[in-house]
């Protein structure tokens, strides 16, 4: 089985007679193409092929938006030539207005050649179950896909390198900041005190006092009691929001950026 390109290159400019009857007819060329594909042998006149799709071919009716594909067998009615119709092989070049086909014997005895047709008198076409693909086309498609995948891979590598460079720059900035501010110590975020109320109506509010001096910190915890009368319940106080020194705020800011970049780098 050979490709459409090889088939046309072999027969272009020649005449073929498949059955050795009635000379070089248009059906003879199509018979050779069908046998090359592994399809059935056709019988009858040219226009009769419209009813011989069988299981190997799919019949595609001629509609305003239909265009034959390369290797399809075009079938014309007798309106084209007032005889028995015509058949040819679509080259794959065309649109909804016209198409190119490889044929012989139209309008009379002649060699195999490419010819452009309108859709006048076209009944439809037989679409083969399979058409051999040119090996070079397959290789070109594989190379194109390989190049695309390689480009995408390089882009992902570059994104990862950029993220790592940004992470390293931030880490260096952070280390430099710590050298310039040795009194700053990174501590965990202090817990927000939660008031508790006893059954006797006494509300206890934990008091957390944190002091920092030359990198050392001390924390003490105390309580403040308040008793509410039954008629005047003590409202729940607003949570005490911790106020961090400006140094700790800057440190937490750098740490959040570094952690975010680490997650991005790992994700890629």
pLDDT at site 106: 85
pLDDT at site 19: 74
Give the chain's domain count.
2
Residue 159 lies in a domain: no
pLDDT at site 148: 86
Check whether residue 9 and residue 124 sit in a common domain.
yes
pLDDT over 60 (residue 149): yes
pLDDT tens per residue across span 20-46: 777 788 999 999 999 999 999 999 999
Q: Calculate mean pLDDT across residues 226-248.
A: 55
Check whether residue 183 and residue 71 sit in a common domain.
no
Tokens for 255, please give them: 């740490």
pLDDT at site 267: 62
CATH classification at residue 70: 3.90.1720.10
Residue 236 lies in a domain: no
Check whether residue 89 and residue 186 sit in a common domain.
no
Residue 118: DSSP 8-state: E
pLDDT at site 129: 81
pLDDT at site 211: 46
pLDDT at site 104: 93
Handedness of CA 99, 103, 109, 110 (dihedral sign): positive
What is the pTM (predicted TM-score) of this model? 0.51
Residue 66 lies in a domain: yes
pLDDT at site 232: 53
Residue 149 lies in a domain: no
Residue 204 lies in a domain: yes
Check whether residue 83 and residue 173 sit in a common domain.
no
Check whether residue 176 and residue 125 sit in a common domain.
no
**Could you tell me the pLDDT band of residue 212, with boundaries at 50, 70 and 90?**
very low
pLDDT at site 219: 47
Check whether residue 103 and residue 12 sit in a common domain.
yes
pLDDT over 80 (residue 197): no
pLDDT at site 203: 55
pLDDT at site 233: 54
3-state secondary structure of 214: coil
Check whether residue 113 and residue 177 sit in a common domain.
no
pLDDT over 50 (residue 226): no
Check whether residue 9 and residue 101 sit in a common domain.
yes
Comparing 203 with 27, the larger pLDDT belongs to 27
Residue after which a domain boundary falls, among 132, 150, 181: 132
Residue 144 lies in a domain: no
pLDDT at site 6: 92
Spatial neighbors of 246 by CB under 8 A, at least 6 apart, are none
- Is residue 95 within 8 A of residue 43, CB to CB? The reply is no
Radius of gyration in angstroms for the set of CA atoms belonging to the chain, rounded to a whole number: 42
pLDDT at site 113: 95
Check whether residue 174 and residue 252 sit in a common domain.
yes
Residue after which a domain boundary falls, among 132, 152, 185: 132
In order, the DSSP letters of 196-220 are EE-TTSEEEEEEEEEEEETTEEEEE
Q: Calculate mean pLDDT across residues 155-172.
A: 86
Check whether residue 197 and residue 128 sit in a common domain.
no
pLDDT at site 254: 73
How many CA atoms within 13 Å lie on the side-chain side of 209?
Answer: 5
Q: Calculate mean pLDDT across residues 232-259.
A: 64
Q: How far apart are CA 205 and CA 226, in angstroms?
A: 8
Check whether residue 122 and residue 178 sit in a common domain.
no
pLDDT tens per residue across span 50-86: 999 999 999 999 999 999 999 999 999 999 988 899 9
Host domain of residue 263: 165-223+241-267
Q: How far apart are CA 177 and CA 249, in angstroms?
A: 13
According to DSSP, the residues that pair with 202 across neighbouring strands are 227
Residue 13 lies in a domain: yes
Instruction: State the chain's mean pLDDT as an integer.
Output: 78
Residue after which a domain boundary falls, among 72, 107, 132: 132
pLDDT over 70 (residue 101): yes
Check whether residue 26 and residue 122 sit in a common domain.
yes
The Cβ of residue 161 has, within 10 Å, a number of other Cβ atoms equal to 12
pLDDT at site 215: 45
Residue 196 lies in a domain: yes
């Amino acid at each position: 089985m050979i490709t459409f390109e090889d088939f046309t290159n072999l027969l272009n400019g020649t005449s073929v007679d498949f059955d050795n009857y009635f000379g070089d007819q248009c059906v003879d060329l199509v018979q050779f193409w069908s046998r090359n594909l592994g399809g059935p042998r056709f019988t009858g006149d040219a226009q009769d092929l419209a009813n011989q799709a069988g299981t190997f071919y799919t019949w595609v009716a001629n509609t305003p938006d239909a265009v034959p594909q390369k290797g399809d067998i075009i079938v014309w009615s007798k309106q084209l030539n007032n005889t028995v119709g015509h058949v040819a092989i679509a080259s794959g070049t065309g649109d909804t207005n016209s198409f190119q086909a490889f044929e012989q014997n139209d309008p009379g005895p002649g060699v195999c050649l490419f010819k452009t047709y309108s859709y006048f008198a076209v009944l439809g076409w037989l679409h083969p179950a399979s058409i051999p693909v040119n090996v070079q086309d397959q290789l070109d498609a594989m190379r194109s896909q390989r190049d695309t995948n390689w480009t995408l891979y390089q882009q992902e590598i570059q994104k990862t390198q950029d993220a790592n460079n940004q992470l390293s720059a931030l880490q260096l900035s952070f280390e430099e900041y710590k050298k310039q501010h040795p009194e700053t110590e990174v501590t965990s975020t202090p817990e927000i005190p939660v008031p508790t109320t006893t059954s006797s109506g006494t509300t206890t509010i934990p008091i957390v006092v944190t002091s920092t001096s030359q990198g050392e910190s001390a924390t003490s915890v105390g309580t403040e009691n308040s008793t509410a009368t039954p008629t005047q319940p003590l409202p729940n106080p607003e949570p005490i929001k911790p106020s961090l020194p400006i140094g700790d705020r800057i440190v937490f800011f750098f740490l959040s950026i570094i952690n975010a970049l680490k997650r991005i780098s790992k994700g890629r």
